[in-house]
Amino acid sequence: MGVLEVNFDGIPGPTHNYSGLAAGNLASERNRNLIANPRQAALQGLAKMKALADAGYAQAVLPPHERPAVAALRALGYAGSDAAVVARAGREAPQLLAACSSAAAMWAANAATVSPSSDTADGRVHFTPANLVSNFHRALETTTTTRVLRAIFNDAGRFIVHEPLPSAAQFGDEGAANQMRLVAGAAPAVELFVYGRMALDTAAAVPQRFPARQTREASEAIARRHGLDPSRTLFVQQNPAAIDAGAFHNDVVAVANGAVLFCHARAFVSHETFFASLRSSLGSAFTPIVVGEAEVSLDRAVATYLFNSQLVTRLDGSMLLVAPAECLEDEAVAAYLQQLTSGEGPIRELRAFDLRQSMKNGGGPACLRLRVVLSDAERAAVGANVWLDDALYAALTAWVMRHYRDRLTPADLADPALLDEGRRALDELSRLLRIGDVYPFQRL
Ligand code: SUG
């Protein structure tokens, strides 16, 4: 039976913009108020997906969410017609409208934590949609994400999409961006959860400058509800210094695939104990590739998103690193990558992609995708039209060209026409993808 990893990439939505909403995400803070190009954002994302699909990697899509989120504005006291709600929020509270208009659901690594059926006690694939409580604009994603995942993974015998964890700071959960999975040969996998702080135990060091979004308590609850084997599950603290340097998720400083862990030397609190545990679970196959400060500084790693690359297995068993184009423009990082891929190590190929629209909001190749390991039978149980083949790529590209603007500023978010354009686009998309009525405007 063939088991393979499918990358579900989020399609950047029609309201993609730069509103500086994410504290501790240096790109988002720096690029606030830039003019965005939602059409280009979507096309750049689709181009990466197509290139990987063409190279033989299993690729699927996740749809954007309805924005502005009129229901959220109503819950906060705005009333009247939808157009009046948006217009008044735009006049009185533009930052609130911006939060309710964010296209942040494109960063699918934050959609959910996923445990493949081979890791879980009941033999089903488990999903916990992330509650994303650290940021209001992201917490708005959970309801639609849960519906979308339930529409795609709609077979109770094979899949379970849990409710998100309780929406409280103590259970702050940012999904797969803080989860890694390592596997060596036929032995069971090790699931690795990286947290930024402990909510109920204040003894551990915490970042001084920026928020730690993921709590250990959240990660432990997910491991319990997914029925993971405690002896194959590790909880590791992210280095507070990495969070303070702008690594708001672990996937900004580390990525794992197979038995390889590619990370910065300052990614975790204690490399040595944690590497020793991995070595005892995975044996000699465990291959850490740790990049020191002298080769690539933490600041350069965050600026280029070197570790926000996708690491995928090629047919011959060696690995491809899917990196952001910014890596090749930095002398130290480009030199490091040249040396990394030309040696005898496991990573033998590099492909760089222009994802600048997403990158300017702090989202690289790895942020844009949710990894879901599925067996043949599980893939066959997906009834939705989400597999990116030539036909879906052509349809999605044409859909983007029909519906997306090529220029959007935060001030444009108050334009009521944007809401209508988005709804028309998503109505069409939900039919194309066969995911049912997942959007609030379809369920009125
Ligand atoms: O949550 N940016 C996102 C980027 C998420 C990246 N994902 C991963 N690392 N997996 C965030 O910080 C910025 C939106 C704005 O400022 O308009 C934003 O939400």
d(CA 166, CA 163) in angstroms, rounded, equals 9
Q: Quick one: pLDDT at residue 202?
A: 74
Catalytic residue among 249, 263, 378, 403: 249
The β-bridge partners of 370 are 8
Are 292 and 298 in contact by the 8 Å Cβ rule? The answer is no
Q: Does the beta carbon of 13 sit less than 6 angstroms from any atom of ligand 1?
A: no
Q: How far is the CA of 209 from the centre of ligand 1 (A)?
A: 17
Instruction: Please give the DSSP secondary-structure letter assigned to residue 189.
Output: P
Looking up tokens 């939505």 gives 13
What's the CA-to-centroid distance between 70 and ligand 1, angstroms?
Answer: 21
Residue 367 annotated in active site: yes
Among residues 146, 230, 235, the alpha carbon closest in space to that of 197 is found at 235
Note the pLDDT tens digit of each residue in 353-381.
999 999 999 999 999 999 999 999 999 99
pLDDT digits (tens, 9 = 90+) for 279-306: 999 999 999 999 999 999 999 999 999 9
Task: Name 324's Cβ contacts closer than 8 Å, sequence gap at least 6.
Answer: 304, 305, 308, 309, 352, 353, 355, 359, 364, 365
Set 141, 367, 378, 403: catalytic member: 367
Phi, psi of 134 (to 5 degrees): -65, -25
Distance in angstroms (rounded) separating the CA atoms of residues 118 and 374: 9
Query: Is any atom of ligand 1 closer than 6 Å to the C-beta of 413?
Result: no
- Read off the pLDDT of residues 61-117 as tens digits, 9 standing for 90 and up: 999 999 999 999 999 999 999 999 999 999 999 999 999 999 999 999 999 999 999
Give residue 20 CA to ligand 1 midpoint distance, Å.
9
pLDDT at residue 337 tops 90: yes
- In ligand 1, which atom is closest to the CA atom of 132? 1
**CA 128 to ligand 1 centroid distance, Å:** 19
Measured N-to-C along each axis, helices 416-433 and 82-92 cross at an angle, to the nearest 10 degrees, of 120
The residue among 141, 139, 115 whose CA lies nearest residue 226 is 115
Six-digit token string for 317: 């068993």
> Angle at Cα 130 formed by Cα 126 and Cα 134, nearest 5°?
160
Tell me the per-residue pLDDT of 136-188, one tens digit each, with 9 for 90 and over: 999 999 999 999 999 999 999 999 999 999 999 999 999 999 999 999 999 99
Ligand 1 centroid from CA 286, angstroms = 31
For a ligand 1 pocket test, name from 249, 255, 357, 413 the mutation site with the most ligand atoms within 8 angstroms of its C-beta.
249
Amino acid 341 reads: T
- CA angle 168-174-179, nearest 5°? 130
- What the block records as the tokens of 149 is 């995942």
Please tell me what DSSP assigns to residue 12: P
The answer to whether the pTM exceeds 0.75 is yes
Residues whose CB falls within 8 Å of the CB of residue 168, separated by 6 or more in sequence, listed in order: 133
Please count the residues of the chain. Answer: 444
| C-beta of residue 229 within 8 angstroms of C-beta of residue 42 | no
Q: DSSP class of residue 3?
A: E
Closest of 11, 51, 43, 95 to residue 406, by C-alpha: 43
Helices 390-403 and 38-54 pack at an angle, to 10 degrees, of: 170
Strands (E), 214-366: 233-237, 254-257, 260-264, 287-291, 310-313, 319-324, 347-353
Mutate which of 17, 101, 367 for ligand 1? The one with the most ligand atoms within 8 Å of its CB, which is: 367
Tell me which residue has its CA closest to atom 14 in ligand 1.
Answer: 21
Q: Is the peptide bond before 240 cis (omega within 30 degrees of 0)?
A: no
Whether 355 lines ligand 1, by a CB cut-off of 6 Å, is no
d(CA 93, CA 243): 29
Q: What is the mean pLDDT of residues 305-329?
A: 97
Q: What is the pLDDT of residue 151?
A: 98
pLDDT reading at 311 higher than 70? yes
What average pLDDT does the chain have?
A: 97
From the list 66, 126, 141, 174, the catalytic residue is 174
Residue 107 in contact with ligand 1 by CB distance below 6 A: yes
Q: pLDDT by residue (tens digit) across 410-431?
A: 999 999 999 999 999 999 999 9
Mean pLDDT of all residues in 202-219: 92
Check if 67 has its Cβ closer than 6 Å to any atom of ligand 1: no
Radius of gyration of the chain (CA): 21
Ligand 1 atom having least distance to the Cα of 98 = 17
Nearest CA to ligand 1 atom 6: 363
Q: How far is the CA of 444 from the centre of ligand 1 (A)?
A: 29
Atom of ligand 1 nearest to the CA of 362: 4
Joined together, the tokens standing for residue 245 give 């340097």
Calculate how far, in angstroms, residue 147's C-alpha sits from the geometric centre of ligand 1.
21
pLDDT-based confidence at 1, cuts 50/70/90?
low
